[in-house]
Amino acid sequence: MDFPELTIRIISAFLVLLLLTRIMGRKELRQLTFFNFVSGIAVGSIAASLVVNQNLEIWAGIYALSGWAILTIIMGVVDIKSKKARKVIEGQPAILIKQGKIMEGELRKARLDIDALHSLLRKKNVFSVTDVDYAIFETDGTLSVMKKEDKQTLTKGDMHIQVIKTEPFPIATEVISDGKINKSNLSKLSIDENWLEKQLKQAGVNDISDIFFAEIQKDGRLYIDLRDDHIPKQ
């Protein structure tokens, strides 16, 4: 392989990679899902082959790299547009600890053992499962932890204040996503669609398709984010 050809290969791989990273967005490494991670490795491998593998013709390497980039971008668009596709591509968060109890079935599904769970908790400065109210294993491999009220920073326990739970719900819960009602979550909260529709009307929303995201807070209030941010909220 002569230097002019090597130069062309380097520039071609560099430009295609630069274009791909600009289009894919600015996710930090710790925010990448398993699919993003694998896709990044594949793109890097193809780019490396394009540069150093003289048996791979330049046009073939550019075609392979561009093709993989296009497929990655298409999957990213599908991921944004379709919640069902997002679940297939990225999976969904798993509740590993619920109301202080370890969900063994969810641990098995996530292919984690109790030692791995303790390790993830320690990274959140939690050294005892008894301090945890909820722990959710995110699709990017991180663990989100909500401590029990008497174990949170500047704890009421340290101030000898008795904790009295007054919130009707244990955790903020999604009820609408991408204009569609999450009937499963409504059922878990023992709430029907009629109640939800009344709350939406009181907020001045007449069409569920106008809502991008809505969740019920612990105190029972309904948070609404409209699909078009310029639509006034009431």
- Domains delineated in the chain: 3-89 (no CATH), 93-151 (3.30.240.20), 173-226 (3.30.240.20)
- Quote the pTM value: 0.58
Contact present, 85 and 78 (Cβ < 8 Å): yes
* Beta sheet of 173-177, edge-to-edge order: 180-181, 173-177, 211-216, 222-226
Question: Pick from 92, 126, 133, 125: which is nearest to 110 by CA?
Answer: 92
Are 222 and 216 in contact, with CB atoms under 8 Å apart? yes
Other CB atoms within 10 Å distance of the CB of residue 62: 18
pLDDT class for 234, splitting at 50, 70, 90? Answer: very low
How many angstroms separate the CA atoms of 175 and 51, rounded? 49
Residue 203 half-sphere exposure toward CB, CA atoms < 13 A? 21
Q: What's the rounded mean pLDDT across residues 47-58?
A: 83
Confidence label for 32 from pLDDT (cuts 50, 70 and 90) = low
CA distance 170 to 100: 11
pLDDT reported for residue 154: 65
pLDDT at 27: 57
Coil vs helix vs strand at 186: helix
Q: How many CA atoms lie within 13 A of 72 on its CB side?
A: 24
Q: Which pLDDT does position 156 carry in this prediction?
A: 62
Give 104-146 as a DSSP string.
HHHHHHTT--HHHHHHHHHTTT---GGGEEEEEE-TTS-EEEE
Q: What is the pLDDT at residue 134?
A: 94
Q: Judging by beta carbons within 10 Å of its beta carbon (0-12, 13-18, 19+), is residue 97 exposed, middle or buried? A: buried
Tell me the average pLDDT of the chain. 81
Tell me the pLDDT band of 39, cut-offs 50, 70 and 90: confident
How confident is the model at residue 232, as a pLDDT? Answer: 44
